A and B are shown apart, each in its own frame.
Chain A
């Protein structure tokens, strides 16, 4: 079974609007971490935001926030006030802390976000 599911292959948003990228995860490990990465057309993986499973509050980093709903196993990324430079592929990932592979990330298949003027 997929550990990370991103159901939106592509999303479109107008500049200055907010957009939510969906991510659900599957784990029985009580301790885990959730990550979002951005991959622009240049190819590098850019870390955006992290949420620990025991964190009480949703993580925020500038225009990025992570809507963490633990009971639903959901970790959606919200980008506020979209900019043209936000156009990229976005990956959700999970780390299970009880696994034998220290720090290994499980990735979703990604969502291609396009911001239009």
Chain B
């Protein structure tokens, strides 16, 4: 299985701050990488696919980059609605695997 490792495990930042979450794959996954946001008590929501393509309706302050084994999710100006846990997921091979999550809190 491809192991997906996210860092940090949690981040606390102020409204307006720029934050970056990193996802590293144990082997190359090309650009088959997606990011999700999960709010408490809710299902995950797709944010980014293909490592850098923004899902329809997702605000442009979110962006993704990377290929191969190293990927980043950046929120350029943190907003209150951005709180939640963020997960990366590889679509290169089976079984599909997710990172362990990064919890984003607002100071």
Bound together: no
Interfacial residues, chain A to chain B (CB-CB below 8 A):
none
Interfacial residues, chain B to chain A (CB-CB below 8 A):
none
